[in-house]
Amino acid sequence: MQPYLNIASMKKIVALLFMCVSITSMFAQKKLAGDWQGQLSVGGTSLRLVFHIVKQTDGQYSGSMESPDQGAGSIPLDNVAVKGDSVVILIHKIHGGFSGLLQNDSTLTGNWEQGRSALPLILKKGIVAIKANPVRISNSTRNISGIWEGRLNAGSISLRLNFHFDKQKDNSYSGTMDSPDQGVMGVPCKDVFLNGDSIEVEVKTAIGMKGMMTNDSIINGVWNQGGKTFPIAMKKVKELSKNPNRPQTPKPPYNYNSEDVEYDNADKSVHFGATFTYPKGSGPFPTAILITGSGQQDRDETIFGHKSFAVIADYLTNKGMAVLRVDDRGMGKSTGDVLNATSADFANDVEVGLAYLKNRKEVDQKRMGMIGHSEGGLIASIVAARDHDIDFVIMLAGPGVKGSDILLKQTYDIMLSDTVPAEAAKAYDDIYKQILEDFMSGNDTSIIRKKIMSDFIHWKAGQSGKALNTLKIGLDSSSDKKLINTFMKDFSSPWIKYFIAADPRPLIEKFRCKVLALDGSKDLQVNAEINLAAINKALKKSKSPSFETKELPGLNHLFQHCNKCTIEEYAEIEETFSPEALDIMWKWLERNEKE
């Protein structure tokens, strides 16, 4: 809903990777083997999916999937699990899957799970003849062949997008897209069409760009995704700009041991990929597991090319610690159900990592701890509250108040950083708070929708047209429904419901470990003042033998020294993680190891 996006929303922009589900293989009674076809309704368009399922001699299933309307074929099915009439299909390559019920030998009814939503999908046995999408022949004297570079501007954040277009002999165009700040490269475009000075690029169904060419090397337009539009400008270049300099990113050879490792949870429903670094020489060593913030992150917590966790692990390992950093579910080598997962599930994942570490001879089990960034601080709090063998916790911009309070303060501060007048930001804060309360008032979505719509209409009636225009909120009633629908979608996932209600204070009060809580004074996402004060108050009620809370001047949410200190600036800053913050962490660890 919001024109001003919280961090979870920002991380989803142009995210072309899907989330995955976890399954186990079993036998089926009904005849699943064969070809199945269905249609997804996505953003007002239909997208055909075809599954080719084969039964193996051992009774298990394998196969492949096609998405003909996207030009994708022979995507392997990594696992097909069947129990009774229940069928679950996992596809690692696109981080997606299908779950449903066999109604009979010719009908499968269920959901295609993708992102944080589930779309209904009915599969019928047998294939209707698949025809390729008609190729649209461009009608223009312009030639867009070549490399195009630009930026997608979404509120407080800016992402680089690149397009590579090729003109075919029949005057049609093909192309691929890169999102380098997200590490997404070479995504094939579904459709590229040039008509006069007008250009349309569809990357995925309902995701793409529309714009106008002002000359042969400039495109001004909008990016469409998830019902939202964002301005985008593209420029034709001979070669892409170099990636931003990230001088702190560690490069081999290292002065320590570094192993890529893999392990599973107890029931094999989640598989983890990780990197374990430890000093050379005899151990065992004090050990930390690193825990990422909200949204799916790889083991290095890569954000805009910054690999914060690689920097932290390198620094601490060179100082004499062992460090485990892990891909989140659905990222890198890790699998697992992301669609229905909450911070509580991620806490379970951390406990699996701690159990793995206990089997490593390099690890001193009496000196094991956790370092959590942002939501990772909440996850560490869940674990430390119930595991009194934890030796230490370091919270980096960790939450000390309820998730709803964090989102409210975050949205307000980001709006002010976007030069939104304080009175307009306060007005938006009022309705945002009410909508969050409405959303948490029950489980009946129809009742919640009615409450939100009623409160929104009453709030809107009290605002001036100038204020609504400042907040980019339309005046007509049809825009109200679109905003409410978007809000209901954005806040319907189990993760966000859990996060809004989560209060870390009762958890922190149960700590028996040593604690260091750090936050940057310029953090727009987790406000230092209110969160550190809450953490300090809760720690005073705990049985922590030693704790310290510290606000670091001039640092943002990523612990970078900042100038404008906006979220957009994250990508512009060369520094990945403040050397002072690294030094403070190590000196605190070293000091507390002697106590």
- pLDDT in the model for residue 12: 36
- pLDDT in the model for residue 17: 24
Q: Please tell me the class of the 257-402+503-593 domain.
A: alpha beta
- pLDDT in the model for residue 304: 85
Mean pLDDT of 21-44: 60
DSSP 3-state of 224: strand
- pLDDT in the model for residue 30: 58
Dist. CA 157–CA 569, nearest whole Å: 8
CATH of 146-237, one of 2.40.128.120, 3.30.1330.10, 3.40.50.300, 1.20.1050.10: 2.40.128.120
DSSP 3-state of 89: strand
Q: If you ran DSSP here, which 8-state letter would residue 257 be given?
A: E
Confidence of residue 2 (pLDDT cuts 50, 70, 90): very low
Place of tokens 């009742």: 447
Cβ partners under 8 Å of residue 540, min gap 6: none
**Higher-pLDDT residue of 56, 452:** 452
Confidence of residue 3 (pLDDT cuts 50, 70, 90): very low
> According to DSSP H, which parts of 263-394 are helical?
308-319, 343-358, 375-386
Q: Write out pLDDT tens, residues 209-252.
A: 999 998 999 999 999 886 678 889 999 999 988 888 999 999 99
Indicate where the chain has its CATH 2.40.128.120 domain(s): 146-237
Dist. CA 519–CA 529, nearest whole Å: 9
Confidence of residue 14 (pLDDT cuts 50, 70, 90): very low
Kindly report the backbone phi and psi dihedral angles of residue 257, in degrees, each rounded to the nearest multiple of 5, phi listed first: -85, 135
Q: Write out pLDDT tens, residues 438-448.
A: 988 888 888 99
Strand ranges (E), 146-237: 146-154, 157-167, 173-179, 184-188, 191-195, 198-204, 207-215, 218-225, 228-237
Q: 300 to each of 182, 244, 509, how far by Cα in Å?
A: 13, 17, 30
Place of tokens 């089997």: 359
| Residue 164 structure tokens | 């590579």
Dist. CA 231–CA 215, nearest whole Å: 18
Where does 7-125 sit in CATH, by number? 2.40.128
Of 268-272, 438-442, 505-509, which range is least confident? 438-442
Q: Write out pLDDT tens, residues 288-300.
A: 999 999 988 899 9
Cβ partners under 8 Å of residue 391, min gap 6: 286, 366, 367, 368, 369, 513, 514
**Higher-pLDDT residue of 109, 537:** 537
- pLDDT in the model for residue 306: 93
Cβ partners under 8 Å of residue 533, min gap 6: 400
Mean pLDDT of 78-97: 82
- pLDDT in the model for residue 141: 87
Dist. CA 481–CA 387, nearest whole Å: 46
Indicate where the chain has its CATH 3.40.50.1820 domain(s): 257-402+503-593
At residue 181, does pLDDT exceed 50?
yes
What are residue 325's DSSP bridge partners?
Answer: 275, 290
Dist. CA 29–CA 328, nearest whole Å: 35
- pLDDT in the model for residue 374: 97
- pLDDT in the model for residue 476: 63
On average, the pLDDT of the chain sits at: 86
- pLDDT in the model for residue 470: 82
The model's pTM is 0.72
Q: Which of 397, 371, 381 is nearest to 312 (CA)?
A: 371
Dist. CA 486–CA 305, nearest whole Å: 29
- pLDDT in the model for residue 236: 95
Cβ contact 526:374 at 8 Å = yes
C-alpha 30: how far from chain center? 37
At residue 115, does pLDDT exceed 70?
no
At residue 536, does pLDDT exceed 60?
yes
Mean pLDDT of 460-485: 79
Confidence of residue 24 (pLDDT cuts 50, 70, 90): very low
CB atoms within 10 A of CB 464: 11
**Higher-pLDDT residue of 181, 315:** 315
**Higher-pLDDT residue of 537, 336:** 537
Dist. CA 43–CA 529, nearest whole Å: 42
Place of tokens 């501060």: 413
Task: Name the burial class of residue 310, with classes exposed (0-12), middle (13-18) and buried (19+) by CB atoms within 10 angstroms of its CB.
Answer: buried
Residue type, 534: A
Confidence of residue 19 (pLDDT cuts 50, 70, 90): very low
CB atoms within 10 A of CB 378: 29
At residue 11, does pLDDT exceed 50?
no
